[in-house]
């Protein structure tokens, strides 16, 4: 039953990240779209939904069984992003402009080198840990909001790679190929490395139990 709860929570998290992606695709102003994308992550942290990039950073402090949670989370996130993509594709907001935008985004990502994708994913992983952990550890509501929205804006405006967001974009663009799968795997690895950098530092120097 607990694993089912985790899966449903992960589906909801993927759905909400896709919601943020939908807002981003709908906006001509990239900065505004990047800011509004943060609604997805904000919902995830407020309702404690299972998001892979929000959980991976805690591996150094968890027991081995946590790996199963991560696998369930990744699969659930994938299902959630595909679900919302299919929903959006059947609405009036899925215009030619949105189609062209997401197709161009997907092509740009898939034409990139795997090493570049890895580096950009590591950068994004670092930012996601900062966002989630700051929201979790800090007390003030203002800093919690800033901690969520600013890192999201930074990773989007910088062009960093977020595996769950890209699941949504690939689903929206219908670019399911072998290269897509490889790219998602590399993004997962990169987000994982980036997400664990600060926690490993904290663990090594006993800064966090």
Residue 184: give its domain's CATH number: 1.20.1080.10
| Cα–Cα nearest to 73, from 40, 46, 43, 51 | 51
In a domain, 209, yes or no: no
pTM comes to 0.96
49 three-class SS: coil
94 three-class SS: coil
In a domain, 7, yes or no: yes
Number of structural domains (the chain) is: 1
Q: What are 31's two structure tokens? A: 């900065």
Domain that holds residue 78: 2-204
- pLDDT tens by residue, 175-202: 999 999 999 999 999 999 999 999 999 9
| Mean pLDDT taken over the chain | 97
- pLDDT tens by residue, 107-120: 999 999 999 999 99
Report residue 116 CA to chain centroid gap.
Answer: 18
Strand runs (DSSP E) across 45-179, as ranges? none
- pLDDT tens by residue, 130-175: 999 999 999 899 999 999 999 999 999 999 999 999 999 999 999 9
pLDDT of residue 69: 97
pLDDT of residue 206: 82
In a domain, 20, yes or no: yes
In a domain, 168, yes or no: yes
In a domain, 137, yes or no: yes
Task: Count CB-CB contacts under 10 A for residue 165.
Answer: 27
In a domain, 62, yes or no: yes
Residue 209 above 70 pLDDT?
no
- pLDDT tens by residue, 2-13: 999 999 999 999
| Cα–Cα nearest to 187, from 158, 166, 156 | 166
pLDDT of residue 132: 98
Q: What is the mean pLDDT of residues 65-94?
A: 98
pLDDT of residue 82: 99
Taking each continuous run of H as one helix and of E as one strand, the counts in the chain are 9, 0
């Amino acid at each position: 039953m607990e694993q089912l709860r985790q899966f449903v929570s992960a589906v909801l998290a993927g759905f909400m990240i896709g919601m943020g992606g939908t807002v981003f695709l709908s906006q001509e102003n990239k900065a505004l779209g990047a800011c509004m994308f943060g609604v997805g992550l904000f919902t995830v942290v407020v309702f404690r939904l299972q998001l892979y990039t929000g959980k991976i950073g805690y591996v150094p402090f968890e027991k081995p069984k946590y790996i199963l949670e991560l696998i369930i989370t990744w699969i659930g996130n994938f299902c959630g992003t595909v679900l919302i993509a299919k929903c959006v594709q059947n609405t009036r907001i899925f215009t030619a402009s949105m189609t062209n935008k997401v197709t161009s985004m997907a092509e740009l990502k898939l034409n990139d080198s795997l090493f570049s994708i890895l580096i950009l994913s590591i950068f994004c992983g670092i930012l996601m840990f900062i966002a989630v952990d700051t929201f979790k550890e800090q007390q003030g509501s203002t800093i919690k909001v800033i901690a969520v929205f600013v890192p999201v804006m930074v990773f989007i405006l910088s062009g960093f790679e977020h595996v769950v967001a890209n699941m949504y974009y690939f689903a929206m663009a219908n670019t399911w190929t072998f290269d897509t799968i490889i790219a998602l795997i590399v993004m997962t690895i990169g987000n994982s490395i980036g997400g664990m950098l600060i926690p490993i530092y904290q663990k090594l120097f006993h800064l966090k139990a």
